[in-house]
């Protein structure tokens, strides 16, 4: 299994970062989250003058065997249709990336369709959809390993292109179901609190989804380790995102976490390598049931709360201007000494 060498940022610089932030021309702590974001980015980059270069959103797409059990309101075909749509400029993540200066990379992790790779979709397909984990493991350990490698390779590509901040998104009909299972099994939060409407299930649909998940877990015969859980119940797009997050942390760059599914992925990544959380900025708290509880379990402080539940990286990209403001704050605000302003706190 692919291993990562992830270290927490060196703490030696933290007092100097805090001193610089505290001596900007403002009351101490008055810029709130901008200050904590600036401190985190400075720590990751190990500098008092951080930069944000060439942001990119990596959108991993794949189909799920569990979709055959009727756990989603949307049909499987939507996965490939949306995957083709993203690079045409008309999807939610398309206009957001354009607005905020992100390059959008769309990666086929395992879509059940012959995709038009000539349009710019990147082919990293493991197979055409996972197996149905109600009856068997969604993938093999070798397939999980390959997901990690492909996710890492995509991050390496972005870094070679000059990126030092990334966000991750997903497309995969049915993927709130494995996300709910990951959340339940890796946090011990009550199963019913981990399950939501996904793409729009009604009360009866949510109950059916709960019964399918409960039955799937009852047939699970693994060792309950994080690696085994994400292999048995995961999606190719999800495990690829886990690998990408781990590589970003290994390469010491900041990444922005999107909604419920990507939060489940960073949960899994943190169970494998706890140090990964030092590099994660949480973009938003979404409207999917359970996301708030999951963020609390991660001790995360999301930037936005806009009632989003689209996925694709949309909430992460929306949060980017706030992250930019944090970097501009520490780089462009004057100190009391430089501005010749009396310190007033």
Catalytic residue IDs: 312
339: number of Cβ within 10 Å: 11
Burial string for 199-238 (b: 16+ CB within 10 Å, else e) reads: bebeeebbeebbebbeebbeebeeeeebbbbbbbbbbbbb
Q: What are phi and psi of 280, to 5 degrees?
A: -100, 130
113: number of Cβ within 10 Å: 18
What are the structure tokens assigned to 232, written together? Answer: 């048995």
What are the structure tokens assigned to 45, written together? Answer: 């980059």
- Give the closest residue to 312 by CA, choosing from 183, 170, 144: 170
Tokens 């009360």 map to which residue? 203
Spatial separation of the C-alpha atoms in residues 43 and 9, rounded to whole Å = 6
């Amino acid at each position: 299994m692919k291993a990562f060498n992830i270290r927490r940022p060196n703490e030696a610089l933290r007092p100097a970062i805090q001193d610089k932030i505290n001596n900007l021309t403002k009351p101490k702590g008055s810029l709130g989250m901008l200050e904590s974001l600036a401190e985190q980015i400075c720590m990751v980059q190990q500098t008092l003058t951080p930069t944000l270069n060439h942001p990119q959103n990596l959108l991993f797409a794949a189909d799920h065997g569990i979709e055959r059990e009727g756990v989603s309101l949307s049909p499987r075909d939507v996965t490939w249709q949306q995957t083709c749509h993203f690079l045409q400029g008309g999807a939610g993540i398309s206009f957001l990336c354009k607005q905020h200066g992100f390059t959008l990379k769309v990666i086929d992790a395992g879509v059940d369709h012959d995709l038009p790779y000539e349009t710019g979709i990147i082919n990293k397909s493991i197979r055409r959809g996972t197996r149905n984990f109600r009856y068997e493991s969604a993938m093999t350990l070798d397939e999980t390993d390959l997901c990690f490698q492909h996710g890492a390779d995509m991050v390496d590509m972005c870094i070679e292109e000059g990126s030092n901040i990334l966000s991750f998104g997903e497309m995969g009909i049915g993927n709130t179901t494995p996300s709910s299972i990951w959340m339940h099994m890796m946090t011990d939060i009550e199963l019913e609190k981990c399950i939501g409407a996904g793409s729009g299930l009604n009360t009866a649909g949510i109950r059916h989804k709960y019964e399918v998940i409960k039955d799937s877990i009852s047939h699970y015969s693994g060792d309950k380790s994080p690696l085994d859980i994400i292999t048995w119940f995961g999606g190719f797009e999800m495990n690829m995102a886990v690998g990408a997050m781990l590589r970003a942390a290994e390469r010491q760059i900041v990444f922005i976490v999107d909604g419920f599914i990507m939060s489940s992925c960073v949960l899994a990544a943190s169970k494998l390598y706890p140090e990964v959380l030092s590099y994660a900025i949480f973009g938003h708290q979404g409207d999917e049931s359970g996301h708030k509880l999951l963020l609390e379990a991660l001790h995360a402080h999301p930037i936005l709360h806009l009632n989003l539940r689209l996925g694709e990286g949309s909430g992460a990209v929306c949060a980017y201007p706030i992250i930019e403001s944090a970097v501009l704050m520490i780089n462009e605000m004057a100190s009391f000494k430089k501005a010749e302003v009396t310190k007033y706190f």
